[in-house]
Chain A
Amino acid sequence: MAEEKEFQPVIVGFFCNWCTATAADLAGTLRMQYPANIRPIRTMCSGSVDPVYVLRALLGGADGVIVGGCTPGDCHYVSGNYKARRRMAILKTMLKTLGIEDDRVWIRWISAAEGAKFARTMREVTESIKKLGPNPLREDWSI
């Protein structure tokens, strides 16, 4: 009998072009290891990530979503990440109020220089989502 396969979550990442996506590149060129569970999508700014993208990913069956932006104060567009923070606050408050796991939605500030933080954060989010288990919405045909 083959061993039961460990659950491998699918995590969609929305990474800002100027910071987190660049940090991902840096992590790569530094040969840093991080789990292959992340499906990165580059956006121009964390502020351009409408909550509908996050919800679409979750309702479509992603086990987790992580939004990555520049550290507060360092947004390439001055204030996009502050606005992203407010949007995510609304999204997470809504999910929590309705009893849908808001722990599946992460937002992290990772600057272009922080390749190591990028790799570490991807490990953290993957571990955390693994503990949560598969997203129940994945199999729900009625949504």
Chain B
Amino acid sequence: MERYATLPVENGVLGAIRQFLAGLLEKKLVDALLVPLELPTGENVVPTIVSRPEQVQRANPLAPVLPVNAARLVSRVTLVSSSPERLGVVLRSCELRALVELVKLKQASLDKLLLIGIDCFGTYSVNDYEKSVKESASSTEDFLNRAREGKEDPLLRKACQICEYPVPMGADLTIGLLGVDLAKGILLVAGTPEGEKVIEEMGLEEAKAGERQPAVEKLTAERARKREEVLKQVQEEVKGLDKMMATLATCINCHNCKTACPLCYCKECFFDSPVFEFEAEKYLGWAKRKGALRMPNDTLLFHLTRLNHMVVACVGCGLCTEACPNDVPVFDIFRLVGYEVQKVFDYVPGRSLDEELPLTTFREEELPNIGV
């Protein structure tokens, strides 16, 4: 059962969130918070571990930008040993889903974490965000108001435009902005006993869900419709060997997409290993056989293999495309293939910790078309 409370908004929406987060630290409900902070220049936000309540006054988890998938950071903090103190982590849906996948992959621990999700209206690329702040001085709250009115925003990253999970799944607490009258307050949703405890200890006023559910369903349906539309278009752009090659033509094999991916966790990637160090005669041999050999070689092999290894767990955050220096639409390919592959196993990455990763389990009777 979910329980709800209201966060009062006398100091604006962002003010209310800051006050709530500072309260968590002051009341020692958490010892530290992982949350995006505005840089001193104000031009961008960066994820930060905050321990002093006054620092929270720079917190801005609403800023429409995702410089890094914070699941990666939670993994960084909790990989060697789980957190000794209570750590609150403020995450968007794609970050929380990636974190759940990383926990399944034994790359992160949820021990002593308070998972604080936040309704997400989408994000810009880091550069677009910085430009929008510099040029139009448009504030985070302007963005929030525009997004809540349902206006199309061309600056939204494609990944966000077609993300059908605006609401985090499995959070202890969710900062609810969808279907909420923000003039009256933010809706704080407790999804677990941990979350309920916070509502009680903070002495927050209990509330009702109100119009939240219908609003969530409406946005989810809109995004899903957009996804169908976009994936169809992507298929037209990449399907078939020639188009595939054209799509990957500018790939320089820098592996940035792999680095930005929250789920690609191998300490040593197969593609960075000595397996791909060949003798000169190999290169010349390939060149002789084909007449020419594109260098660096094995770009298609890299992308197809990464798809095979990761796509079933892909949460669709789109940071692979953001990381590409040459605008290869890596996300488009992953989302398209991910959608089809995840359907095969009826798997939604990050939906639940209880669902096993498809590649770590099996059913005796399944996939009748594979192998006879």
Bound CA span A137–B293, Å: 12
Number of A-B contacts (CB under 8 A): 117
Residue numbers in A under 8 Å from B270 (CB-CB): 52
Quick check: B370 and A94 within 8 Å, CB to CB? no
Chain B interface residue count: which class?
35 or more
Residue numbers in A under 8 Å from B309 (CB-CB): 51
Residue numbers in B under 8 Å from A30 (CB-CB): none
- Taking chain B's interface residues, is the majority helix, strand, or loop, or is none over half, making it mixed? helix
B231-280 at interface with A (beta carbon < 8 Å)? 235, 238-241, 243-245, 249, 270
Quick check: A108 and B372 within 8 Å, CB to CB? yes
> Which of A55, A86, A136 has the most chain B CB atoms inside 10 A of its CB?
A86
> What residue of chain B has the Cβ atom nearest to residue A69's Cβ?
B371
CB 8 Å contact bits of A63-86 with B (1 = contact, 0 = none): 000000100110000010111011
A-B contact pairs, 24 of them (CB 8 A): A51-B308, A52-B305, A55-B304, A69-B371, A72-B371, A82-B362, A82-B364, A85-B362, A86-B359, A86-B362, A87-B308, A90-B341, A93-B340, A93-B344, A94-B304, A94-B341, A96-B340, A97-B235, A97-B336, A97-B340, A98-B239, A99-B239, A139-B291, A143-B301
Q: Given A94-B341, A100-B240, list of 18 further CB < 8 A pairs?
A: A52-B301, A55-B304, A55-B308, A69-B371, A72-B364, A85-B362, A88-B371, A94-B304, A94-B308, A94-B311, A98-B333, A98-B337, A99-B238, A100-B241, A100-B244, A141-B292, A142-B249, A142-B294
B: residues with CB less than 8 A from A are 235, 238-241, 243-245, 249, 270, 287, 289-294, 297-301, 304-305, 307-309, 311-312, 333, 336-337, 340-341, 344-345, 358-359, 362-364, 366-367, 370-372
